[in-house]
Amino acid sequence: MNFEQARFNMIEQQIRPWNVLDDQVLNLLSVVKREDFVPLAHKALAFADMEIPLGRGQYMLSPRLEARLLQDAAVKKHEKVLEIGAGSGYLSALLAHQAQRVIALEINPEMVAMARANLQKAGIHNAEVRQLDGSVAVAADGPFDVIVLGGCVPEVPQSLLSQLKVGGRLLAIVGQDPVTRATIITRSSEAEFQTRQPWDSSAPTLLNFPAPSQFRF
């Protein structure tokens, strides 16, 4: 398989048409070897427009969704990033190229080992993977400039919003089937948050994030 041709096709046929036009993001997708973060059994699917199984019911996000999240996060070199759901470590690697530091939380110990090994193999030293449940854990290193959720959640818990710096932003796919939307929450002050939902999408569900209560008072 010609990985370089497949990578080029992924960028030109999947990612650019999905309004990912940021040169830095497109360059990163050329530099970070996605195939090295895919399980060996699925390596031929590394550039397909699909979610790739990682085992234990977990999946890699589709390339275009990863690229769009990366573009909307607009991470700067001085910023500290928290990622919820490290998976194979690919999105962690992309974020690490842009950020000062990335802390990725992953609940599954097998995924933790996979992500750590993949990041080490890729020569990335400013991304750390911790075995923690991101739905409840509060990272001791907060607050963060950027928080990225690597999957879909019914709603964003206050425990994560409290870890944002003022001026920081959180990105996630939020909602419940059949309606889920990309959500960007910016902390505008200690007590105020602004929410935008600029595009529709779907993603694998992150574990243990509770559904919102149906009761209204």
Quote the pLDDT of residue 213.
Answer: 64
Q: Which two tokens stand for residue 160?
A: 């994560």
pLDDT tens-digit map of 97-106: 999 999 999 9
pLDDT at residue 211 is higher than 80: yes
pLDDT tens-digit map of 27-78: 999 999 999 999 999 999 999 999 999 988 899 999 999 999 999 999 999 9
Stated pTM of the model:
0.95
Q: What domains does the chain contain, in order, with CATH numbers?
A: 3-200 (3.40.50.150)
Question: Rounded mean pLDDT of the chain?
Answer: 94
Quote the pLDDT of residue 139.
Answer: 67
DSSP characters over the chain: --HHHHHHHIIIIIIGGGT---HHHHHHHHHS-GGGGS-GGGGGGTTSSSPEEEETTEEEPPHHHHHHHHHHH---TT-EEEEE--TTSHHHHHHHHHSSEEEEEES-HHHHHHHHHHHHHTT--SEEEEE--TTT---TT--EEEEEEEEEESS--HHHHTTEEEEEEEEEEEEETTEEEEEEEEE-SSS-EEEEEEEE---PBPTTPPPPPS---
Mean pLDDT within 21-30: 97
Mean pLDDT within 177-182: 92
In contact, 90 and 79? CB cutoff 8 Å? no
> pLDDT band for position 214 (50/70/90)?
low
pLDDT tens-digit map of 126-151: 999 999 999 987 767 999 999 999 99
